[in-house]
Amino acid sequence: MNERPVERDALLAGLPEPWADDPLPEIRDTLATEREKVVVLDDDPTGTQTVHDVPVLTRWSAGELTGALAENATAVFMLTNSRSLDEADACVLNGKVAAALRQATQDTGKTPAVVSRGDSTLRGHYPAEVRALAEALGRADAATLIVPFFAAGGRLTVGDVHYVAEGEQLIPAGQTPFAEDAAFGYRASNLREWVEEKTAGRIGKEDVASISIEELRNGGPDRVVKRLTKLRERQVCVVNAACERDVEVAALAGLRAESAGRPLLYRTAASFARALAGIEPRPVLTPRELKLTGRACPQRGGLIVCGSHVPKSTRQLKHLFTNGDALPIQLAVPRLVAAGQRGAEVARAAGAVRSALAAGRRAAVFTSRALVSGEGRADNLDIAHKVSQALVEIVAANETRPRYILAKGGITSSDLATEALGVRRAWVVGQIHPGVPLWRLGEESKFPGLPYVVFPGNVGDDAAVTDVVRALT
């Protein structure tokens, strides 16, 4: 655990050139003839930050999944939001989703590739929910690939060490604020050591396999397939990656290995999910593609809701209030968790939002920035739940259709969509900013067709939220 920050350009300069051949056409052919679909269980809505033209489901009965498997899109995302739950509940939820998916695959005769989409900064219920998923799918012997690479967020894995970009430097993940997360903290930056840490030593680092960047770039899919087919039952394998082509090579190799009889599950960040579905990267949405016109789209009065408290989100809020025309409405977290004060605090903020939107103003609701923490993981998840529920109540109380809603933070964006807005299904249009997806809400939602921006807490520079708000204006 003695890794040091490195200069990004210096590290990348020492690597071989990426694999020359484009794997995506073969990935799409393989899906069309064998798998037909990639199903992504997303532990918060930010997993859609690399894809476009795919559905997102917030409910997952066997019937709903059967319908989704029959659609033309190569992937379907199921929003579990399991990162907001305690570990036991997350495992139960993964088991229920997997059981419904297993029934849907029996009904359709299709056996999709399955991704457990987790955080590119390594937070979440690993390994517990992956084990629960594997057992409920009847794939208990499957090997697991760990692929946290995410290009837009500057998350790279080289030499088995996972890095987070800060400017021109790459910081080992275990030395970032993400590793200090109250619920999902960790120390190791080397992913083999991270697996050992997260499994409390049940899997030793020496038992974790690794696919190097040199293998991906010099040997291509053929070389990687040979490695994957030799994995033992239930073995964990780390995949290094420093560019999109690396994860595309790994994705094609994974599909080939599964075809050759090596069952696999994937615990990955958003970039690998895109690659496995054979989806081409595309530029951010243009103003014309946003289609913010017509009688159903007010000309003013957008709503920004920020529950994320990471330093990056705080800097982005400061930039917005300094450079953008948004009414700040702060929600005091200590009052939300104090007995007898919650109701008045929620009512005050809800009233301010209603007044701003009714007057055609842009409103930004945000939680107080000082971290309020409990005595352990369960306490901290409970505090996060109380805060998120307050934001839900504030948005649900508003009856004025805003021009758009921008939700900042994974748990925040999930809870607002499913609980405040009643979303059962949405469509991922694309990205409005690198790593920031824009959805169109389904007809069943409170505001049908509303542009809904799922803005991860840890993505973008200081001006990113301001830039997105301007694009939506």
Alpha-carbon distances, residue 469 vs 18, 316, 319, 428 (angstroms) = 36, 12, 12, 18
Alpha-carbon distances, residue 42 vs 25, 158, 181, 353 (angstroms) = 25, 25, 19, 30
Q: Point out which residues pair with 158 in neighbouring strands.
A: 161
Q: What is the DSSP letter of 32?
A: I
The enclosing H or E element of 133 equals: helix 128-137
Other C-beta atoms within 10 Å of 145: how many?
A: 26
SS3 string, 301-313, reads CCEEEECCCCHHH
Record the pTM: 0.90
The pLDDT of residue 296: 60
Q: Read off the amino acid at residue 318.
A: K
Rounded Cα–Cα distance for residues 409 and 426 (Å): 18
Placement of tokens 């930004």 in the chain: 364
Cis peptide before 127 (omega within 30 of 0): yes
CA angle 75, 77, 80 (to 5 degrees): 160
Write out the chain's pLDDT in tens, 473 residues: 679 999 999 999 999 999 999 999 999 999 988 767 899 999 988 889 999 999 999 988 888 888 888 888 899 999 998 988 889 999 999 999 999 999 988 888 878 899 999 999 999 999 999 999 999 999 999 999 999 999 988 999 999 999 999 989 999 999 998 999 888 999 999 999 999 999 999 999 999 999 999 999 999 999 999 999 999 999 999 999 999 999 999 999 999 999 999 999 999 999 999 999 999 999 999 878 887 766 566 667 899 999 888 788 999 999 999 997 899 999 998 888 887 898 999 999 999 999 999 999 999 999 887 777 777 767 777 777 888 899 999 999 999 999 999 999 888 899 999 999 999 999 999 999 999 999 999 999 999 999 999 998 888 899 999 999 999 98
Q: Compute φ and ψ for 80, nearest 5 degrees.
A: -90, -30
Contact between 169 and 5 under an 8 Å Cβ cutoff? The reply is yes
Alpha-carbon distances, residue 299 vs 24, 202, 252, 295 (angstroms) = 40, 56, 45, 9
The pLDDT of residue 311: 83
| Three-state DSSP state, 232 | coil
| Domains defined along the chain, listed by start | 6-276 (3.40.50.10840), 287-472 (3.40.980.20)
Q: Tens digit of pLDDT for each residue in 228-251?
A: 999 999 999 999 999 999 999 999
| Three-state DSSP state, 106 | helix
